[in-house]
Each structure stands twice: as C-alpha cells, then as structure tokens.
C-alpha cells in the first residue's frame, strides 16, 4: 500500500505522528509487542503518545464544533451564500457570452472554421 498516495491530501496536523505509528506496527494483529524473553516487558509508548496527541486533537475539534454549531443554526448563511454564487455564475456567463459574441472573436472564428470544414458544399 502506498502511504504517500493516501496521505498526500491530508493536512499536516492530521498526519502528525501517524506515519511513525504505521511504520511501528508489525505484521501481527496484537497492539503491544510480545515480550522478548526474560521477566521484564519492554513496551514502547510511541503508540500511546500518538493516540494521546490524536485524542487531544479530536477533542479540540469537538469543542470547536460544539461552540460554532449553535451559532450557525441561529444565523443560517447557507441559502444566502448559494444565492450569491448563483448570481455570480450568471454574471460570469453573461460576460463570457458577451466576449465571445463579437464578430471577429477567436471563439467565433474557430466555430466558423469547424462548421465550414464539416458542412460546406463539396468542391
């Protein structure tokens, strides 16, 4: 699996420590490594640190959303923004058609050449 392909579009905060977490994982399904002989268990806390940092990040996102969602539900702006975008699209369409409707515009010349090449009477 190409990890660069999957994490290319993600923000840097979202992948902080994630790569080390994946590379540190062994092929086994267990989360913590098995002890390597002796009575003392050597456990790396890199995974725990990554999960702690990630849980703090998720908690900050949750707090942000809970503080912003009541505001957005009281003062809905979605319909107004959509109407503004529709009006802007209409204005841009009108400008484009006005520019391309000039007699000697490159657009009109190209269309004339295409129609003449396909629909002109045979010679």
The total number of structural domains that make up the chain: 2
pLDDT at 51: 86
Residue with tokens 């707090």: 63
| DSSP for residue 122 | P
Q: Are 41 and 35 in contact (CB under 8 A)?
A: yes
Residue 68 counted as domain residue: yes
Residue 34 counted as domain residue: no
pLDDT at 40: 47
Residue 68 belongs to domain spanning: 1-29+40-75
The CA-CA-CA angle for residues 28, 59, 71, to 5°, reads: 145
Give me the tens of pLDDT residue by residue for the chain, a chain 123 residues long: 455 555 566 666 666 666 666 666 555 555 555 555 554 454 567 778 888 899 999 999 988 888 877 777 777 788 888 999 999 999 999 998 888 888 888 888 888 889 888 887 776
60 and 117, same domain (yes or no): no
Give me the DSSP letters along 29-88.
S-SSPPP-SSS------HHHHHHHHHHHHHHHHHHHHHHHHHHHHHS--HHHHHHHHHHH
Tokens matching residue 44: 């790396």
Task: State the pTM of this model.
Answer: 0.34
């Amino acid at each position: 699996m190409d990890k660069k392909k999957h994490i290319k579009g993600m923000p840097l905060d979202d992948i902080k420590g994630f790569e080390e977490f994946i590379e540190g994982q062994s092929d086994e399904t267990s989360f913590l490594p098995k002890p390597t002989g002796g009575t003392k268990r050597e456990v790396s806390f890199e995974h725990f640190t990554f999960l702690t940092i990630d849980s703090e990040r998720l908690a900050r996102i949750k707090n942000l959303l809970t503080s912003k969602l009541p505001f957005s539900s009281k003062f809905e702006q979605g319909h107004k923004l959509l109407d503004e975008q529709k009006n802007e699209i209409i204005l841009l369409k009108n400008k484009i058609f006005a520019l391309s409707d000039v007699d000697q515009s490159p657009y009109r010349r190209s269309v004339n050449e295409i129609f003449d090449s396909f629909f002109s009477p045979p010679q």
